[in-house]
Chains A and B, each alone.
Chain A
Amino acid sequence: GDSVTQMEGPVTLSEEAFLTINCTYTATGYPSLFWYVQYPGEGLQLLLKATKADDKGSNKGFEATYRKETTSFHLEKGSVQVSDSAVYFCALSDRDGGSQGNLIFGKGTKLSVKP
């Protein structure tokens, strides 16, 4: 079945450091890919998404590129801030599934940014 694997956390960085969170996927069809972010005590919210190969999603300085050849969707940010401290989830939804809208999540990566 479909699955998402993302790097284990926690990840601790200093402010202004470069961030990469790796995400790879397995899908039987042609998925859409998402990054969701969960700030402390809150629900998840969409950070960015990409719906076809080579698409780049971007938002709030974060970027991720849909790489079909390596089945990856790594999240990057050039300079993190303390306010970026959160849990980040990579997810996919598969067009070929019985219900296309169902999200399959990775286990999440907790990011802590120190001043």
Chain B
Amino acid sequence: EAQVTQNPRYLITVTGKKLTVTCSQNMNHEYMSWYRQDPGLGLRQIYYSMNVEVTDKGDVPEGYKVSRKEKRNFPLILESPSPNQTSLYFCASSLYGGAVDTQYFGPGTRLTVL
């Protein structure tokens, strides 16, 4: 089944403790992206990647890192999480990242930073 998977689905952590949220897609997509969803703000893009070893900042990249060593994986790294990073995170992918491409979303990771 074609899908985008994220792990973990739920995470509660404390300020400053490094964490990684994994994202994997099995559709051989070149484009991958991370978003955060907050009440009243909709979805905002954190980082995106057009292909392996190519990453770029989205609208809200501060406090986050990403890597794209393999086509299928695009982990989101929080080196020193803070409470304002408490949010619902979504990974997405599309075939080429073109303007007409459909993006496929993972199920989401709900992160709470205490």
Contacts and interface: CB of A to CB of B under 8 A. Distances in A.
Interface in B22-78: 31, 33, 35, 40-45, 48, 50, 56, 58
A94 B42 contact: no
A89 B56 contact: no
A43 B43 contact: no
Given A32-B100, A43-B90, A46-B102, A102 B43 contact: no
Contact of B58 (A44, A49, A102): A102
A45 interface: yes
Contact of B90 (A31, A44, A49, A99): A44
Contacts, number: 72
A35 to B, nearest CB: 12
Interface in A63-115: 89, 93-95, 97, 99-103, 105-108
Given A99-B97, A100-B97, A102-B33, A89 B42 contact: yes
Q: Interface size for chain A: under 10, 10 to 19, 20 to 34, or 35 or more residues?
A: 20 to 34
A51 interface: yes
B2 to A, nearest CB: 12
A46 B95 CA distance: 14
B106 interface: yes
Interface of A: 31-32, 34, 36, 42-46, 49, 51, 89, 93-95, 97, 99-103, 105-108
